[in-house]
Amino acid sequence: MSFHAKIHTIQKRADSLLCVGLDTDAQKLPVHLRSKKNGILEFNKRIIEVTRDLVCAYKINFAFYEALGKEGWAIMEKTLALIPSAVFTIADAKRGDIGNTSSQYARAILNEMGFDSITVAPYMGKDSVQPFLEQKEKGVFLLALTSNQGALDFQYKKIGKKRVFEEVVTTAQQWTTNHNLGFVVGATKSKDIQSVRKLAPDVPFLVPGIGAQGGSVEDVVKYGCTDGGFGVIINASRSILYASIEKDFADTARSEALKLNNEINFFRTKYF
């Protein structure tokens, strides 16, 4: 099954476009877990347990685990093992280097660790992205239009009549016929999500920027979804993970995830 088909199948079965980002910050853990040796892993375990029926995907942000050194890598691998096989996994690693280096990154993250997909930076061009695209069943979310303020520095610059992010979307689709390319498109750039969708009608989007960053759920669904209300993976991290720092953190996280999932599905019904 191709990457695109797998996403569609999981989203249809789960009736969900929601992704929970496991961007777990040790300093923001519930108070009773901060002094525990396995506090981060216990936190992640509970978050997964209470949201697994509400999501289509989990995204693990490598930075929060790499910062902890060897112990962080072990926590990340154990967290990945807790995710049900019926849920899609995203390595938010933002790799991208010369070809032989990217080949090693792809082997490490997609093969050895076993993630379903990875975020990749496009700046170094085709040969830096190609190694991640070689496996049809594994996917790449290429950074196209990001949700941060610095996106204005380069992504909106003109190349002829096209903006840089539009050139990335147009060009990158020529790099694979394996149906395993997606794009990162920030929710805070809502008016431009439609522009990216026009250029990539059937390509899945990973959409950060909902929740704490203030992106519009309605705009993401209306302008980003493909036919039938699929094709976008809407990520929320802080707004779910840290909804409470008390012992009720898991129940509160579930409530926030359920609320967001219901909001997403409301607009899916409205527009599709």
Task: Catalogue the active-site residues.
Answer: 94
DSSP classification of residue 161:
T
H-helix segments, 126-205: 126-133, 151-154, 164-172, 190-199
How far apart CA 32 and CA 4 sit, in angstroms, is 41
In total, the chain counts a number of residues equal to 272
Strand positions, DSSP E, the chain? 18-21, 57-61, 88-95, 117-120, 139-145, 158-159, 162-163, 181-185, 205-207, 232-236
Reading the block at residue 207, the tokens are: 């959409």
Contact 181, 133 (CB under 8 A): yes
Q: How far is CA 60 from the centre of its chain?
A: 8
Reading the block at residue 250, the tokens are: 């898991």
Question: Do the strands 158-159 and 162-163 form a parallel or antiparallel pair, or are they unpaired?
Answer: antiparallel
